[in-house]
Chains A and B, each alone.
Chain A
Amino acid sequence: MIAEAGHYALVLALGLALIQSTVPILGARLHDAALMNVARSTALAQLLFVGASFAALVTLHVISDFSVVNVFENSHSLKPMIYKITGVWGNHEGSMLLWVTILALFGGLVAAFGNNLPLSLRAHVLAVQAWIATAFYLFILLTSNPFLRIANPPIEGRDLNPVLQDIGLAVHPPMLYLGYVGFSISFSFAVAALLEGRIDAAWARWVRPWTLVAWIFLTLGIAMGSYWAYYELGWGGWWFWDPVENASLMPWLAGTALLHSAVVMEKRNALKVWTILLAILTFSLSLLGTFLVRSGVLTSVHAFATDPTRGVFILLILCIFIGGSLTLYIWRASALKQGGLFAPISREGALVLNNLFLTTACATVFVGTLYPLALEVLTGEKISVGAPFFNLTFAPLFVPLMIAVPFGPMLAWKRGDLLGASQRLVAAGIGALIAVAVLWAWTWGGSAFAPLAIGLAVFVILGALCDLAERISLFRAPLPVSFRRARGLPRASWGTVFAHAGIGVALIGIVCETTWNSEHIASMKPGDVAQVGGYSLTFDGTAQRQRSNFREQIARFTVRKDGQSIAVMTPSKRNFTTRGSSTTEAALLRRGVSQLYISLGDAKPDGTIAVRMYYKPMVLLIWFGPVLMAFGGMLSLSDRRLRVGAPKPAKAGRALQPAE
């Protein structure tokens, strides 16, 4: 009953989406406000019905109704409650349902909080949203129905893939989807602008918060996924240039570029045509990511779907939306008026440079991910493109970009003064040089590259702080004045400082982890002692433990520093009986922002066990950086809450622009 209700709710949502894709456009053509307003009601109703459908699937998983194929294949009655819920999107059908639920959520948010949008723009935006929704409802209903029943229900399920039974699954996919799907709003706005043939600075002001929301979630989602891989996989890697990771990195790079070009458009009414293109490309890359992951083209477990009908269907969606929007772009973009002029050395110029590097980086990831597939399809030749390729091509792009980052906010709009900006960055430059010199002396004879890279990171961080100091006249005005100015500074400026500093922080983590990571691999007997990164680890022995749906072998290590016992670490191996597979659970010990990392290998009958131990200096900074970036994004978003949030009357919402 619940399954059928969920299925039916999804069909109704499709019906609503069909109405929403046509009627509002018709209304806009006929200038009929009532028809245009249909979009608002249908978007909210869609959210209601898709939400109900999603809730139905969650309920089925929670009550372990094994008469439903999806529940049977991915759940187990003994599974802990949290994994019963998160298991809903730990499979193809469920994750597609989550995808459309989030799409409906964003559509509903635009409908609910878009009161200050011009009526016809809102009608167009919601109609385009409905086109996307229609395509994906059809995809789910025709190829990936999560509500299918089994004729003879089994009494027990097959359990969820053990690697997915982790808190990471509760956070990572929803975050990532909020990012991916969030960019659909920028896309819809772009297509709506092309359909209307009209675009102005106000358009950018509406698009920016939505882009920012999507970007924040995508940033956190990627960082979360990286940390999950780091602690779960057991060899301490945190980024693998896996096609699935690249699929999320591409929209992030394009989205970051979009965020910056939208600033130019909002403040200076320039770069309109480019911003529209970026908005289209960003969501196209999200769709591409969905295709790569969902179609099975990568044949990894991430691509759960192996049925080619699904792949072809998504490819069709991909072609229609990307091809259609780009055709529309070519057809209509020339009609958009070019705005604001600027000199090459200016804030706009710096943001254009940022866009050049980010899009090139994005293209590099794109070609690296898809070229092997294309080459194999065209010539049958098989090549691999992996981490060494990306390290060689992608990383160098970030060096000039990061050098440029601190200069950007220092330059004035329209016409900047590079010399002046450099003078204001002298402190940051000196700080960076000191960092390089100190590190060079300290690690004498080691890698020459690492101190330089850290110097660059320090320059970015100090550059962000210089920018802040400049804005609040720190040291030039009395402290109370500076303090007042700091409080009065627009949140968006604070956001820039945090986000830019975040890049530097992440870079420090990346460089330290890759350069000074120490590793020790050994077979250990109880009582053996290993030395890693200045810590001595004593293997005390192992113990067995039975949990609800797995059996666990736990090893105990005592950690000593300078003879003092400081902690006990307990890495383990889990055996999942239902699937007959096992996972390793690494033990992590945080020391400041560094970590000790132990993961277990094979145990021999004589009690020896293979152990990998790492000391990873500054490793946590790799993820603190993105968190800082996302925090900066949130600050900037809160600055614009008047426009995102609805409670204010429309006029006030539009008139109150924080000065910047």
Chain B
Amino acid sequence: MKRLSACLVLALLAFTAPVAHAVQPDEVMANPAQEARARSLSRELRCMVCQNQSIDDSEAPLARDIRLLVRERIAAGDTDQQVLDFLVARYGEFVLLKPRFEPSTLPLWLLTPLLLIGGGIALWGYNRRRAKVVPADESRLSADEEARLAKLTGVEPASGERL
């Protein structure tokens, strides 16, 4: 699990730096609204030396650098999108934990809806095909059966019930 990837980081850092935590007290921004923005942006950014960890979770020094950079940009008045663009320009698409919607990521984004819709249509078609092959309504009695039933019970079926 994730703890193991953290462990990799720990192992790498063991001789260079003491164990650090993700977001350090000294990083926290004074303005709570800006800090909240920084935190939610941090969750969308990858710590590039870690295994699938966001910079919000990571203890690596690089993650701390990017966290500080994010806060710097926010303090400078950038919008969220501008911060992300800035980081992509600097570190590449790899930094985004949620890839952008682009030609190269089309299959990634479209598989789920296509599969759901395709599966739904396939099931619908399958059901129709099956329904055609088999007599439409099995639950009703055939005219023959109605007649036999009527004979056995001695009751005339109501005219509406007849097929």
A163 near B: Cβ within 8 Å? yes
Q: Is A580 a contact partner of B15 (Cβ separation < 8 A)?
A: yes
**A513 contacts the other chain (Cβ, under 8 Å)?**
no
Q: Which 3 pairs across A and B sit closest by C-beta, in order of nearness?
A: A386-B97, A601-B21, A388-B98
Which of B8, B115, B134 interacts with A300 by CB under 8 Å?
B8
Q: Is A387 an interface residue, CB under 8 A from the partner?
A: yes
A341-B94 contact, Cβ under 8 Å, with A229-B3, A381-B104, A388-B44: no
A383-B96 CB under 8 A given contacts A415-B139, A582-B10: yes
Evaluate contact between A244 and B1: CB separation under 8 angstroms.
yes
Interface residues of A in 3-62 (CB under 8 A from B): none
- Taking a contact as CB atoms under 8 Å apart, the answer to whether B24 and A242 are in contact is no
Chain A residues whose CB sits within 8 angstroms of the CB of B94 once the complex forms? 382-384
**A-facing residues in B1-58 (Cβ within 8 Å):** 1-8, 10-11, 14-15, 18-26, 28, 43-44, 46, 51-54, 57
A163: chain B residues within 8 A (beta carbon): 3-4, 6-7, 10
Contacts A388-B43, A393-B112, A415-B139 hold; do A521 and B97 have CB atoms under 8 A apart?
no
- Distance in Å: Cβ of A521 to nearest Cβ of chain B: 5
**What does DSSP make chain A's interface, helix, strand, loop or mixed?**
mixed
Whether A360 contacts B98 by the Cβ 8 Å rule is no
Contacts of B46 in A (CB 8 A): 384, 386
Question: Which of B5, B22, B53, B123 is within 8 Å of A356, CB to CB?
Answer: B123
A residues touching B (Cβ–Cβ < 8 Å)? Answer: 161-163, 225-226, 228-229, 232-235, 237, 240-245, 298-302, 341, 344, 352, 356-357, 359-360, 363-364, 367-368, 371, 375, 379, 381-389, 392-393, 397, 415, 521-523, 573, 579-584, 599, 601-602, 610, 612
**Most A CB atoms within 10 A — which of B21, B28, B95?**
B21
Q: Mark B110-124, 1 if CB is under 8 A from A, else 0.
A: 011001100110010
Residues of the A chain whose Cβ atoms lie less than 8 Å from the Cβ of B107: 367, 371
Cβ–Cβ < 8 Å partners of B19 in chain A: 573, 582, 584, 601-602
How near does chain B come to A577, taking the closest CB pair, in angstroms?
12
Contact of A521 with B96 in the complex, beta carbons under 8 Å: no
Chain B minimum-CB-distance residue to A245: B1
Are A384 and B25 in contact, CB atoms less than 8 angstroms apart? no
Question: Known contacts A360-B119, A386-B54; is A245 also within 8 Å of B2 by CB?
Answer: yes
A387 partner, pick from B24, B54, B95, B116, beta carbons under 8 A: B54
Contact among A244, A367, A573 for B4, CB-based, below 8 A: A244
- Residue B144, interface by CB 8 Å: no
Considering residues B6, B20, B53, B107, which has the most beta carbons from chain A within 10 angstroms of its beta carbon?
Answer: B6
Can you list 15 pairs linking A and B with CB atoms under 8 Å apart? A163-B3, A237-B57, A300-B5, A300-B8, A301-B8, A344-B127, A360-B115, A364-B111, A367-B107, A371-B108, A383-B93, A385-B99, A388-B44, A393-B109, A602-B18
